[in-house]
Structure formats: structure tokens, C-alpha cells
Structure 1
């Protein structure tokens, strides 16, 4: 849990009458989506729904990264990492952990703009895909990098990314784990605009103002309708993701990937 001396993992602020800004606030560790951040982010999304004056929200990251995804240090810690759990425990870890986030954003009626201020990696990329619109700073990078750690997108990324960029591009990103630049992300439709770093929040606010200028109930219903038409069966993909992720965390290749990361060497994968 977050101690009283630590800053909150997520900041929530109101700007003007209709805009909320949600900021992932662990810049020293590149805004990982650990349990404290998950809880705080879900609470922030609930607040969007609870405050009827909010018509649009911006989600961004503090510091130089949008989000690094999973907390690699905690994942590799013997006492708490999902690799050390039984498959049944790991399945529950995902279903009652990070998988709450796509469901919370799916149910939210307030449009959310991701202002991607830096690298969006793994679950961080998937978090950006959970938003309705993505604007990128020129320094932003995007990677569906789970495979490089010997695991799979356990947070719904296998459902989200193909719907944003198309199946072939999503498959290339997920199977290689390679990163895209902001301009490459723009070319494949992952983001709708790339702006200089210093102009990112101004561009996001300007877009938010255009959305907020429309009738709020129509905006909410339109957002909901778009989601229902776009998504199909998210719950099925999350269920499959939880099951496969539970297995992936027990593999030797996952352990090798984590060890190589800690030891700063190239991993040797054996398909085990």
C-alpha cells in the first residue's frame, strides 16, 4: 500500500468546468501499472462517472514516460511476482488485478483522451488503447512487448490492439515486441496526431474543449454506442488472457527473460 509519505500514484484534477486530467504519478519508475496504481486509476475513472459536470478527460503520465506497463521489479521478486504463484493464483491475480482497468474504462461514459507523453510499453500501450483517442508527443514510443519477457498480453491487449491498428499490424507488434516511433504510430492509426512534446497537453486540451462543447448526454451516449459496436466480447478475451497468462508465468522462458533483464544480458530462450 502507498504510505502517507509517498505521493499518490494517480493524480486527479479538474480544469475549468468540464475537463478532468488524470495523471499517472510514479515518474521515478516510469509509471508502472502496479496494484496501487491500478486501484487509484479505477477510483479516478469512477470519479469521472460520479461528477456529472465532467464531459471529457485526459489521461497522461508524469515525467518522461506515459507508462512502462507492469512493474518488472515486483514481477521478478520471488515473494510477490506472478511467476511464483500457482496457475490458479496467477489467474485470479490478473482477473482481480489489472483486468479491472479495461472493464472500468469500457463502462465509463466519459470520453478519455490519452496524451502519450513518452514511452507506452506493454500494459502501458494497452492502457492507451483503452482510451477513445490518442495524441502523441514526438518523443513517444509504443511497444506491445510482452513476448520479449516470455508472456502474453494479459490485460486485454490481444483484444484492444487489433481493433485500433488492424490485425496484421497488431500481430507484427505483438509477435516481435518491437517498438514504433510516434510517426509510425500515426501512420498505422494508433494515434490520431503527433505534436512537439511541449505542445502535447495544449493539443489534448484543445481537442477536449471541442468534445466538451457538444451536448454532454449525446456525447456520453455516442461514446457508449461506439464502444458497444466496437468491442464484441471483451470478457471472453480477458478470460482467455487470464488463463494463458497463468500458464505463461510458469514457463522457463519467462524466468530466463526476467533473469536476463536483471543481469543485463541477451536471453537464451529454449521454448520451455
Structure 2
């Protein structure tokens, strides 16, 4: 395990877990934490023992977003200074997440609000504790989503539902989040950590090349036409068909055993 006290990093069973560890601040984050987060994601990109990545929080909170106690002085910044600060710091995390072709899972163990919810939205999939709640409260604060929430949320739950969340600023419980498609799974509060971990390990155990190529194709499909998508797909499938993982999967199927993948 590696940590900076406020941000914890652990790798085991193919899963890297990055945990916000500021329970006294409702797991809010600040620029120094974001820089460390980005560095660990860079490490995860190349580590062979990392096949999936989990974002979560400690002690009943996922994240309350940016640490407002560190906002002092930011209101006096010029527009250019504010823009440069957002680009170099908080937004760098969303950009780094977009570079990662390994699965990233948000384990929403408790309250996630504003930038904290945006942090979950930038992940590929989300699992949620039955006792957790989420909200987008920017309109109540005279702000707008600065970490990509207005880009991610409509793509996940649809434009009208996203605008409803942004404008009304209401709390969404686990049941409504599942109905909206905001989260993929809801696990009981008392077993959430174990079930979220098992979910991540199940993804990490799949054939790594297949998982990553599927992610690329799904993400890329948003910005391409069908013919271009199918052309890219034919190139990718030509590669995975010759992989050791595919050969191992076929052999394991014939031998009625669990395959062991190497990511090659």
C-alpha cells in the first residue's frame, strides 16, 4: 500500500484502489491530491498487475467535491487565472481518466455531491451502496460543473434527466439512481465494500486485451459513424484472435476449466 494520508493507493488481485481519506472533510479533495491522483493513474496505465481501477472514499462518504475551505482567494482571480487553474489542476484528472483504457469503477460508498459526483461520472461504471445519496448542487451555489459533469451526466442518463438533476439539485437515492441508469449495481450497505470489491475483481479477471478493446470501441462509438466503427472493429478483432488470451480461453473451454489470462 502507498498513501499520502489524504489519498490511499493499493494494488491487489489485479485491482488498483484509490481511496479519498479525508472523512473529517467529507472526503473533499484539493489540487495537491489531484496531482497525486493523476500520477497514480499514470502508474496504473503501465503496471501489468493492474487490470481494473476503483475510486472510492472512506467512512461513509464518497466525496463532497472540491474542498471549499481552499477556495479562499479564488474569487479574486482574474478569469484567465481561474481558467488556467482549473485546466492545470482539477480538470487534469478528467483528462487523465479519459486516457486510461483499463476499466475504472466508481464505488459510491456514501454521499457524492457536486465535484464528488462528477468524479464518479467520469468512471466507466458505477456501483452504489443502498444507503448512499448523490446530487448535483452547482445551481444552488451559483456555480457550474467544472470537472466535466455537464458532459458526462447527459451521456449516462439522458439530457432531460441530467438537466432536472442540475436545475432542481435534489438528492437521488440508490433506488432512483439505478432507475435512471446513473449506477450499474446497488449493493447492500452492510456488505457494500466486499461486493464492490468482488465486482471489480470479476472485471479484472476477464481477458485484459478484450476488456480494453471493448472499452475503446464503446467510447469511440460516440464520436464515429457505423462504417468507421466497423472498420476499426475488424482491425481490433484481427489482433485479439491471435492473442495468447484467446488461445487460452478456447483451451479452457474445451478442458472445462477456468482460463488464466496474461494480457498478451
Match of 1:61 in 2: 57
Aligned residues: 222
1:225 is displaced (CA, Å) by 2.2
Please give the TM-score of this superposition, normalised by the length of structure 1. 0.78
Match of 1:52 in 2: 48
Match of 1:242 in 2: none
Give the 5 Å matches for 1:122-161.
122-161=114-153
Cα separation, 2, equivalents of 1:97 and 1:229: 28
Give the 5 Å matches for 1:1-272.
7-16=4-13, 18-75=14-71, 77=72, 80=73, 82-230=74-222
Contact 1:118 1:141 (C-alpha < 8 Å) held by counterparts: yes
Q: Given the superposition, is the C-alpha separation of residues 9 and 224 from structure 1 closer, same or farther in structure 2, using an over 3 Å criterion?
A: farther
Cα separation, 2, equivalents of 1:209 and 1:13: 14
Cα separation, 2, equivalents of 1:8 and 1:36: 12
Deviation per residue, 1:115-152 (Å, 9 max, x gap): 10111100110110111111111121111111111010
Please give the TM-score of this superposition, normalised by the length of structure 2. 0.80
Aligned CA-pair RMSD: 1.6
Consecutive unaligned residues of structure 2, counting only runs of 5 or more, are 225-264
1:205 is displaced (CA, Å) by 2.0
Contact 1:22 1:59 (C-alpha < 8 Å) held by counterparts: yes
1:231 is displaced (CA, Å) by 6.3
Contact 1:113 1:204 (C-alpha < 8 Å) held by counterparts: no
Highest CA radius of gyration, 1 or 2? 2
Contact 1:106 1:227 (C-alpha < 8 Å) held by counterparts: no
Deviation per residue, 1:87-141 (Å, 9 max, x gap): 1111111111111111111111110111101111001101101111111111211
1:154 is displaced (CA, Å) by 1.1
Contact 1:9 1:36 (C-alpha < 8 Å) held by counterparts: no
1:218 is displaced (CA, Å) by 1.5
1:7 is displaced (CA, Å) by 4.8
1:224 is displaced (CA, Å) by 2.1
SS at match of 1:99: helix
Consecutive unaligned residues of structure 1, counting only runs of 5 or more, are 1-5, 233-272
Cα separation, 2, equivalents of 1:50 and 1:25: 25
